[in-house]
Amino acid sequence: MSAIKHSIYLASRSARRRELLRQIGIRHSVLLMRETLTRPADIDESPLPNEAPADYVYRVTHAKAEAGWLRLGQRNLPVKPVLAADTVVVLDGCILGKPRDPQHAKTMLGQLSGREHQVYSAIGLAFQQQIRLRLSVSMLRFREISQQEIDAYVAGGEIYDKAGAYAIQGKAAAFIIEMSGSYSGVVGLPLFETAQLLEETGIPVFCD
């Protein structure tokens, strides 16, 4: 069956997730979830007390995928699988989400300096009353970063909308001594796991 016949919705505002999905040739349209006026599908992304990182990303991803699926019905859109994802940085078991402001970003980068941390990226695919979830966990080690470098990095503007206040796909690559796991997972959409979920749902990544 031709790939043209298969397409999905991506329930995400992230241009990077769109780009990653394009990389493996998956036709998709973006399902915008967070209208500024009504915000009906807005999801509470605050971690619960003592919530483990894996539980957190699974919970938020499930909520994003479910909200996307419900949105199809509300808008009478054609039924297709809905893909959603969530990414956090984890340092000493604590979740670092997106920085609130430049000062918060500086604090996060200071905490990551010279240390090892993990990036947890969950994905969820909602289709026909079922939401399948997968998790990718990567390990990264940063070199020591001076205060001057942190200030310059934050002023460069890459921090916004990035878990842990850094972008591996940007200048922060120069901080990373080593990494194991999934590069695409760190950027926000683990492609190995995404391809697995799609194939399980009948959407082949490799086809004639």
Ligand X SMILES: Cc1cn([C@H]2C[C@H](O)[C@@H](COP(=O)(O)OP(=O)(O)OP(=O)(O)O)O2)c(=O)[nH]c1=O
Which residue's CB is nearer to ligand X, number 6 or number 117? Answer: 117
Which residue's CB is nearer to ligand X, number 7 or number 169? Answer: 169
Residues pairing with 90 in the sheet: 95, 118
* Positions in the binding site for ligand X (CB under 6 A): 12-14, 16-17, 85-87, 89, 98, 119, 161-164, 166-169, 186-188
Q: Which residues are part of the catalytic machinery?
A: 86
Give the largest Cα separation in the chain, rounded. Answer: 55
Which residue's CB is nearer to ligand X, number 13 or number 100? Answer: 13
d(CA 67, CA 83): 11
Which residue's CB is nearer to ligand X, number 127 or number 166? Answer: 166
The CA radius of gyration of the chain, in Å to the nearest whole number, is 18
Q: Residue 72 Cβ, how far from ligand X at the closest point, in Å? A: 17
Residue 83 in tokens: 């893909």
Q: What DSSP element (H or E) covers 139?
A: strand 130-142
Residue 192 in tokens: 């190995």
Angle between helices 191-200 and 15-23 (to 10 degrees): 70
Residue 131 neighbours by CB under 8 Å, 6+ apart: 62, 65, 66, 69, 124, 125
Q: Residue 167 Cβ, how far from ligand X at the closest point, in Å? A: 4
Q: Residue 166 Cβ, how far from ligand X at the closest point, in Å? A: 6
Terminal alpha carbon distance of the chain: 7
CB–CB of 92/84 below 8 Å?
A: no
Q: Residue 140 Cβ, how far from ligand X at the closest point, in Å? A: 8
Q: What angle do CA 120, 62, 109 make, to 5 degrees?
A: 30
Q: Residue 2 Cβ, how far from ligand X at the closest point, in Å? A: 28
Which residue's CB is nearer to ligand X, number 85 or number 198? Answer: 85
